Structure formats: structure tokens, C-alpha cells
Amino acid sequence: MRLTMPSGTPEGIPLTVMPFREDAVIGTMSLATLVRLVPSPRREEDPRALKTASGHDRRRAELRATVQRTLKSQKGRNIPAYAEYIAAGILGKHGSAWSTPPVTLWHAGEIAAMSDELIPDSGLRTLTVAPDAMVIAIDGETQTTAWHDIYQDPESFGLTYAELGRRVRIPFELYLGLSPADARQIFYDRNVKGVDVAKNLAMSMDQRDLATRLAHTVGEKLEVESGDGRRTPFGNLVNTGKRQLTAADKEVVTLSALRALITTTVFGGKGVQYSATHVHEEDLPPNTDAGEVEAVVVRLVSRLIGDHFPDFARRGAITAPAVMAGLGILLHRATPWCDPGDAMGYERVAHLLADVRWEREPAYWDGVCASVGSTGRLNFSGGVKDSAGRVAGALLDPHSELGRKIRGRWS
């Protein structure tokens, strides 16, 4: 007797998907499915593991290497922080304000099976991935590795396998049957075509960052007089999406510049280093807490902006990021946590600023935090780290060379 081989339902991993083009689908999967479908990139780069791996697994590792960077780079160094971020999100520490992008996968070769539509006209189908299929992450591999780390030892992240099974669904897009050359092209497009966000602009969007939260609080609580004579929250005049304003913008200052004013008010000169990095509560000056710092900084910054709002409305030199940072270094001296040897009242701060010339003119600001370009226009594009100290020195010492310059005293 000769037995025939079974020809029923294909074996493999079923995924519920929806096509978004003829050779690609989207969907979500459990973490257990992801780690079964896509091996750990750490293991695929481990020479010792590859020595004992099957021929199939070695070929998969070789194929992955043609479309991915190795983990021996900044990519690999980001994995632990990424895993901590994901775990904190699952545990609810970020509230709703967290996200990971869909993992981009490439299914090399033919799929095992694709069903008819599960619901007529919905596009939903069941795609079956064969047990020996080569599925490779061509974008989102850092995230994929972080997921593997979490799955390998969930307890070290404060999680359990039960929670991972109940609370986690991972969005993905899956490209089907592409050639290695096409997969490499997608890797290139995803990693090169996009424009990187400037670090200080990205920081201004981070609501878990204390300085950014304080900047938004100032914008919400401070009211100023708009051009039509009405009162409006200062936040309506703060541009949150740009590093530099143009003549067509209706706002008067950028959020990143306002944040620089906040960080230097909190830390003094040390705050310059926080202009492009996170501020956590544990970073605050000794013997302070977030509540005290918020109350004092919001009051001082709001008062400063209110006192000089006409100069802000005209987009005078006061709105330049380096000037804002220098103002914060001065304003820090009016905080209760300032070194007693440097401390002064707000009235003294106001006196030092009373005769500063805020016009954007070379006579006042060239060589302080700006330079004259080939067209004769004054350029304030110098960085906070380069110029904030000079601005602060000029504000604090009216009799110095730069102090006289910004006050229009040349004799």
C-alpha cells in the first residue's frame, strides 16, 4: 500500500491582514507571533550561535545581512532604552502619550496561502506564513530586537508573559515576494529619504520633558495684548513647529527658544547644556522640587515676557534663542535656589534690562550673538551654546565692552 501525502489546510502561522497594494499587507500580531516569525537579530549576528545553527538559519542570517545594518552601531546602543520605553508604555507609565511605528517586514519567497476575503468587500484576509519562511525586518529592527529582549525576560521589565499576551499587539506591514534588491531599496528609502528633525526642535515636542511642560504652562497662563488690542494667551504667539521664524509667520518666538529661556532660568549657565536634552525632576537643583520650580519659573518668566512684550511683538533681538538663553541666566539670579553670592531681586534684573537696545541692528548685537552677512543683514543664527554666555555677560555688566554695546553706549 502507498499512502498519499496530506493536501489540506497549509501549516504555518496565520495572520489576519489587509492588502494596501498588490504585494504588501498590513495588520497586527501578538508578541509571541513576532518572536516566532522574526528571529532575534542579536542571535543572527552571534558567531557562536551561527556555528551550531541549521543551514536554513544561517541562510536567513546571510539574507538579513544584505538588507540591514549590524547592531554594532548606534542602532544597537539604542536597544536597551527602546525596550525600557516600550515596557513603560505597556505598564501605563506614559499614559496614552507613547507610540511605536509599525515594523516593516519582508517575506522572501512565496507565501504558504492567502484566503479569500473574510468579510465581502472588506479586504480582510488570512495569510499563512510557512514555518520555514524567511521573514526579515527591513525597517524597525531596533524595535524588533527590543521586543525580543522584553520577551526573553519580561520580569526584568516589571512585566509577565500573561500581560504581554493580553495587552500587546504589534502593528506591521509585510512586503511579499520582493527581490533582495527591492528590499534593500525600501531599507534605503526608509532611512535616507526622510529629513531628520533637529534635536532642539524634537525636544520642544516632548511632553515628558519638564522644561517643555513649563514652556507650555507659561504660554497657557500668560496673557498679552495682541495686535488688535485683545488679550490672548502668549502660547498663541509661540511657534511649536519651527526652529526659526520667517516673515510670514504670525508667531513672535519659537518654542525651542522659549524652552532655552526656561532651562537657563532653572539652572543658570548650566542650563545651556539642557537646551537640547531632557530635563527630568531628578536633574533639578538641590533642595528643590518640581512644584516649587514650576511656581517660581512660571512667575519670573511670565513677568519678564509681560514687561518686554512690545519688544517680543516686534520680534526684536530679545526673541533670538541665544538672547533668550542669556536672559534666563540673568533671571536665574532671582530664583530662591540661586547661589547666595550671585542672587538678586527681580527689580535688579529689571534695572539691568531697562536700557538694553532690542532693535535688530548690527550696532548693538554684531559680535555678541549675531553677525553681519554678505548682504549687510544681521544674522542671529548662532547657537545657544556659542553665544548665551556672551549675552549674559553683557546683560550683567553694563560697563563691559559688550554691556555698553547692547545699550548703545559707545563712548
Give pLDDT tens digits for 51-106.
888 998 898 888 888 888 888 877 888 999 999 999 999 999 999 999 999 999 99
pLDDT in tens, 363-385: 999 989 888 877 778 888 667 88
212 and 188 belong to one structural domain: no
218 and 165 belong to one structural domain: no
Taking Cα atoms as reference points, which of 50, 56, 34, 55 lies closest to residue 105? 34
189 and 211 belong to one structural domain: no
290 and 376 belong to one structural domain: yes
251 and 380 belong to one structural domain: yes
The domain boundary, picked from 147, 178, 194, lies at: 194
130 lies in some domain: yes
Between 206 and 286, name the one with better pLDDT: 286
Residue 1 has pLDDT above 80, yes or no: no
Q: Confidence band (pLDDT; 50, 70, 90) for 332?
A: very high
**Domain residue limits at 143:** 13-194
**Per-residue pLDDT, 171:** 97
Number of domains composing the chain: 2
Mean pLDDT of the residues in the chain: 91
205 and 349 belong to one structural domain: yes
How far is residue 390 CA from its own chain's centroid? Answer: 29
Give the predicted TM-score (pTM) of the model. 0.76
Taking Cα atoms as reference points, which of 259, 234, 299 lies closest to residue 388? 259
59 and 161 belong to one structural domain: yes
Instruction: Label residue 229 left, alpha or beta by phi (over 0 means left) and psi (-120 to 50 means alpha).
Output: left
The domain boundary, picked from 149, 176, 194, lies at: 194
410 lies in some domain: no
The domain boundary, picked from 175, 194, 213, lies at: 194
pLDDT in tens, 233-266: 999 999 987 878 888 889 999 999 999 999 999 9
C-alpha to C-alpha distance for 241 and 229, rounded to whole angstroms: 26
225 and 309 belong to one structural domain: yes
- Share of residues in the chain with pLDDT > 70 (%): 96
316 and 293 belong to one structural domain: yes
243 lies in some domain: yes
Decide: 379 and 373 in contact? Cβ < 8 Å. yes
1 lies in some domain: no
8 lies in some domain: no
C-alpha to C-alpha distance for 40 and 45, rounded to whole angstroms: 9
Burial class (CB in 10 A: 0-12, 13-18, 19+), 142: buried
| Residue 388 host element (H or E) | helix 384-396
The stretches of 194-275 forming alpha helices (DSSP H) are 199-203, 210-221, 255-267
